[in-house]
Amino acid sequence: MTLVDGVETETVNAADRGLNYGDGVYRTLRFRSGAPVEWPRHFAKLASDCAALSIPVPAEPLLKDELLRVGNTRRDCVVKVIVTRGISGRGYRYETGLAPTRIVTSAPLPDYPAAHCDSGVHVRRCALRLSDQPALAGVKHLNRLENVIARAEWTDPAVAEGLLRDAAGNVIGGTMTNLFIVRDGVLATPRLDRCGVAGVTRDRVVEAAARHDILCDVTDLSWDDVLGAEELFLVNSLAGVWPVCSIEECVRTPGPVTRAMQKWIDG
């Protein structure tokens, strides 16, 4: 089911700036037993991403209502919320006062194997390098060609995710996940102030670590840092916490910090 500005439909206006320029932001979240998981965080991130693009954020009760309308048709599902700058004439310039477009849609949960959480996932290294753009870094906007190109680098279904680096060689994260590593008992995750998307589950991991007195560095991580880590795991709102069991030739067994984080995050 899809609602566009609250109306059930399968289509959007062809003049929408979301289509023409990728001029918008989005959220992908999980519904569990008919309720959106971590909605306040998702809304806060949506509002912050809208602000980064100077798009007025729709009212929270309005979005929540639309979310429940599409989500309640399937109790356990994925809901995607897109907010674009709206419909405008041709050209990059936009007038002030445009009405943002809301697109809220539900889909079945992805059928990830249970092994992804239990024994972990196989991960590869992508060739594509993420570009540095501080004006957009961290924001989940609709300009996602880099992710599309990176995800097209492999078709082997045994590989669950690919890791992306920036031009300088820093590891930034997966195509659809944020990365954490453990070294010397300390958690670390890439800084995302030049590229990458800062997901809601990444915040939850950082906060869970703080609550349990686990140090967590937000820092530059090299490929060697990643290969040399004691533990590695990937997170997003649908996957939860996936241990990494192999990366290129390196094999890892899910470790204690990863297992603890699964308990705290996936409940």
Residue 136 tokens, joined? 């957009």
Compute CA distances 199 → 251, 259, 266, whole Å: 26, 20, 15
Q: At its nearest, how many Å lie between a second copy and the CB of residue 212?
A: 32
**Using CB under 8 A, which of 51, 99, 115, 148 touches a second copy?**
148
Of the two residues 52 and 216, which places its CB atom closer to a second copy in the complex? Answer: 52
Contact between residue 161 and residue 174 where contact means Cβ atoms under 8 Å apart: yes
Tell whether residue 211 is a contact of a second copy (CB under 8 A): no
Q: Residue 217 is inside which H or E element, if any?
A: strand 216-219
Structure token pair of residue 88: 């405008």
Task: Identify the three-state secondary structure at position 2.
Answer: strand
Among 16, 49, 66, 231, binds a second copy (CB under 8 A): 16
Q: Any idea how long the chain is? A: 267
Q: Is 1 one of the binding residues for a second copy (CB under 8 A)?
A: no
List 30, 41, 165, 175, residue binding a second copy (CB under 8 A): 175
Q: 90 or 211, CB closer to a second copy?
A: 90
> Which of 105, 230 has the CB closer to a second copy?
105
Among the listed residues 27, 45, 141, 165, the single contact to a second copy using CB under 8 A? 141
- Partner residues linked to 242 by β-bridges: 234
| Alpha helices (runs of H) in 119-199, residue ranges in sequence order | 145-151
Phi, psi of 109 (to 5 degrees): -60, 145
Query: Is the Cα dihedral 160, 166, 169, 170 positive or negative?
Result: negative
Segment contacting a second copy by CB under 8 A, of 4-12, 63-71, 213-221, 245-253: 4-12
Residue type, position 14, single letter:
A
* CB proximity list for 121: less than 8 A, separation 6 or greater: 160, 161, 234, 242, 243, 244, 245
Does 178 help bind a second copy (rule: CB under 8 A)?
Answer: no
- From 5, 132, 203, 217, residue interacting with a second copy (rule: CB under 8 A): 132
Residue (101 or 258) nearer to a second copy, CB: 101
- Map the footprint of a second copy across residues 94-113, applying CB under 8 A: 94, 103, 105, 107, 110
**Residue 180 to residue 63: CA distance in whole angstroms:** 31
Helix (H, G, I), strand (E, B) or coil at 120: coil
Structure tokens at 11: 């289509």
Residue pair 81/102 in contact by the 8 Å Cβ criterion:
yes
Instruction: With beta carbons less than 8 A apart as the criterion, state whether 179 and 173 touch.
Output: yes
Provide the minimum distance between the beta carbon of 9 and a second copy in the complex, in angstroms, as a whole number. Answer: 8
Cβ at position 113, least distance to a second copy in Å: 16
Binding mask 38-67 for a second copy (x = CB under 8 A): ---------------xx-------------
Pick the piece of the chain touching a second copy (CB under 8 A) from 124-132, 197-205, 220-228, 240-248. 124-132
* Shortest CB 194 distance to a second copy, Å: 9
**C-beta of 4 vs 121, nearer to a second copy:** 4
Q: Provide the binding-site residues for a second copy, judged by CB under 8 A.
A: 2, 4, 9-23, 26, 28, 53-54, 78, 80, 82, 85, 89-94, 103, 105, 107, 110, 128, 131-133, 135-136, 141-152, 167, 175-176, 195
